[in-house]
Amino acid sequence: MRSVKKVPKISRNSHVEHIKKKIDYSLVGVVVGLSIFGALMVYDGSAIVAVRQGNSADVYFWKQVVWVIFGLIAGYIAFRIDYHFFARLSFPMVITSVVLLILVLIINQDQDIKRWIPLGPFDLQPSEIAKFTFLIYLSSWLSKRRDQVTDVSEKVKYHIKHELIPFLLLLGFICFLISIEPDMDTTIMLGVTSFIVYFLSGNDRIHLYGSLAVGILSTVIVGIATIAAKYRLNRLTNFLDFWRTGNISNPFSDGYQFKQILVAVASGSWIGLGFGQSRQKFFYLGDTAFSDTIFAIIAEEFGLIGCIILLGLFAFIFFKGYKIASKAPDKLGFLVVVSIITWLTFQSILHIGANIALIPINGNTLPFISYGGSSTVINLVAIGVVLNVASQSIGAHKIGLKKTSHEAIDIMKRLRNK
């Protein structure tokens, strides 16, 4: 008589609580540390701007502190919620984001910049919400099993009809709404992150070729959008001229901010001028010293050594995130973590690269550091979701099961449903 393998009995009190409460303190420590440091840098860079506006010097600092506290609370709530729950709600979440993206265009139709919805004491930025909700929805959609088609021609047709076209239509529509705000920087960031997630979700050549086609098409579209807008073209021209000649074209007009950023970075030397001692935050970098160009201020005040430490912390988040993704209990967890970590890392690269003249000037903020209510809260919520995936990965490991086995997934589901 053949023996039947028994499913190990699992104590609800021990393992479920472990799965729900186990937290990666190293990741939490780095993120909280960056958020506190960011609030201090917001105060440093915004004081002169606040005074010129007739406010107290610390007005932006306290606003940022409130957003950090609120974001940490929201992030902890996200950590306590099973990431599968977010996946189940991802479609209504992304529809809500689309409604908000349309609403912000209607409310600000007479404005040149249409990025915020005024809500009394704060402004809501729908594009920040759209980044999070779309990536969760994309991860949920790509993690679902597809029908297996053996014929090559039918497989190609199936991939184009059921995967490639729906992906392009949804991504294209959301990116279009964000781009006409206008916010090409967020559009590029979301497009690149979505492409990477789409690429990693497949495991055959057809999916690979489709991903390459998407990448080429996206590059062409970004190139056309850059040429179509004069200010973007000027930024690109100044950047290329600098690397070709070593000089900045029009340093007192189109190239003014580019020049002041380089002055700030160069002034920092090895150890910097010291906290609060930046000169470029006075008039030269204007209102961006605590947002778009905050890394330049950090470089000026803390020097090369400070920049290396900061870069090391962001590198830690990247490698820690991908380690968590590699140990995720299922494909959904893997794609959710990859999408969030890729988004935060790529946005950091865009910001830092622009602030040290490696790429053209752009309007991306530095995650966890730059001023912003919507971005601060959404970034911390996203980290909360990553921590939830990590806790469930730890739970699966603790009960002695491999994350890829169907038995592990079944037991995890049973634990969640109890």
Full-model pTM = 0.84
pLDDT, tens only, 162-198: 777 888 888 888 888 888 888 888 888 888 888 888 8
Q: Which three-class secondary structure state does DSSP give residue 368?
A: coil
Q: What is the mean pLDDT of residues 115-121?
A: 83
Four-residue CA torsion sign, 351, 354, 358, 360: positive
Distance CA 21, CA 417 (A): 16
- Under DSSP, the state recorded for 249 is S
pLDDT band at 294 (very low <50, low <70, confident <90, very high): very high
**Residue 95 falls within a domain, yes or no?**
yes
14 assigned to some structural domain:
no
Structural domain count of the chain: 1
Q: Residue 139: inside a domain, yes or no?
A: yes
Nearest by Cα to 383 from 294, 320, 297, 310: 320
Which pLDDT score is estimated for 332? 92
Cα 381 to Cα 74: distance, rounded to the nearest angstrom: 6
Neighbours of 254 (CB within 10 A): 18
Q: Does residue 414 carry a pLDDT above 60?
A: no
User: What digits encode the pLDDT tens for the residues 344-358?
Assistant: 999 999 999 989 988
Residue 16, domain member (yes or no): no
- Angle in degrees, CA 292, 177, 144, rounded to 5: 100
DSSP state of 5: P
Q: 3-state DSSP call for residue 119?
A: strand
Q: Pick the most confident of 31-40, 196-205, 216-225.
A: 31-40
Domain containing residue 412: 21-144+151-417
Mean pLDDT of the chain, nearest integer: 83
**In which band, very low, low, confident or very high, does the pLDDT at 228 lie, cut at 50, 70 and 90?**
low
pLDDT score at 203: 67
How confident is the model over 311-333, as a mean pLDDT?
94
The pLDDT value recorded for residue 21 is 53
Lowest mean per-residue pLDDT among 136-140, 276-280, 398-402? 398-402
Least confident of 204-208, 234-238, 335-339, 359-363: 204-208
In this prediction, residues 272-285 reach a mean pLDDT of 87
Average pLDDT over residues 322-330: 92
- Asked whether the predicted pLDDT for residue 340 surpasses 90, the reply is yes
Task: For residue range 7-18, list pLDDT tens digits in order.
Answer: 444 444 444 444
Rounded to whole angstroms, how far apart are CA atoms 267 and 269? 6
Cα separation, 357 vs 359, in Å, equals 5
Residue 356 in any domain: the answer is yes
Three-state SS at 99:
helix
Report phi then psi at 118, rounded to 5: -70, 125
User: How high is the pLDDT of residue 149?
Assistant: 54
Beta bridge partners of 118: 123
Count of CB atoms within 10 A of residue 248's CB? 18
* Higher-pLDDT residue of 49, 362: 49
Q: How far apart are the first and last CA of the chain?
A: 33
Q: Is residue 11 one of the residues assigned to a domain?
A: no
d(CA 75, CA 87): 16
Q: pLDDT by residue (tens digit) across 59-95?
A: 999 999 999 999 999 999 999 999 999 999 999 999 9
User: From CA 71, how far away is CA 320, in angstroms rounded?
Assistant: 21
Q: Considering the domain boundaries, does residue 44 fall inside one?
A: yes
- 379 pLDDT exceeds 60? yes
pLDDT at 257: 83
- Predicted confidence at residue 3, as pLDDT, reads 47
Contact present, 142 and 92 (Cβ < 8 Å): no
